[in-house]
Chain A
Amino acid sequence: GQNIDQPTEMTATEGAIVQINCTYQTSGFNGLFWYQQHAGEAPTFLSYNVLDGLEEKGRFSSFLSRSKGYSYLLLKELQMKDSASYLCAVRILLSSGSARQLTFGSGTQLTVLP
């Protein structure tokens, strides 16, 4: 089975930096994704890590340590519009060699305060 843990809620102030952690236990690991989901909307892709290290995309960065089963999403220069749920998702490699199955963590609801 798979187990993905992330905090339920976080609060931060506009302009600040926030780090959302995700830990996972899975077999057949084949990549970790971060998605953002605003209330009532579809999830949108933020970042992808399959090798250890840091991936940076503008105000968002994501880090992965495969040996520790750990990832974090770093959001800089927070804006009010960043208030959303942030979903950590692990993709596993199927026995067929294809890698399609994505399992989501429960999501972290981030509230950005003025």
Chain B
Amino acid sequence: GAVVSQHPSWVICKSGTSVKIECRSLDFQATTMFWYRQFPKQSLMLMATSNEGSKATYEQGVEKDKFLINHASLTLSTLTVTSAHPEDSSFYICSARDANRANTEAFFGQGTRLTVV
């Protein structure tokens, strides 16, 4: 299967600072990447769809100015949580789809545990 690498796996930051999370497809090209958020003991909620070379598409209720997404290459998408607050503490997971596969199987990164203190 395809490998998606997410970094860092965990981060603790002070309230008001910004945090960048990277998502890389290691052995395939991903024209589209997806960012999810997961609260404890809850399922994954799609935050935004990241398209290489164009603006991300955000789900309803997700603040685009707070969660900045950049997808500058076919193997890298970044999510920056700006001016983080304790309520932003969560588990963030990215997903990527192989542009050369027709079966739309989704592959996920290892996730990033963000704690804002």
Question: Are A and B subunits of one complex?
Answer: no
Residue ranges of B at the interface with A (Cβ–Cβ < 8 Å) = none
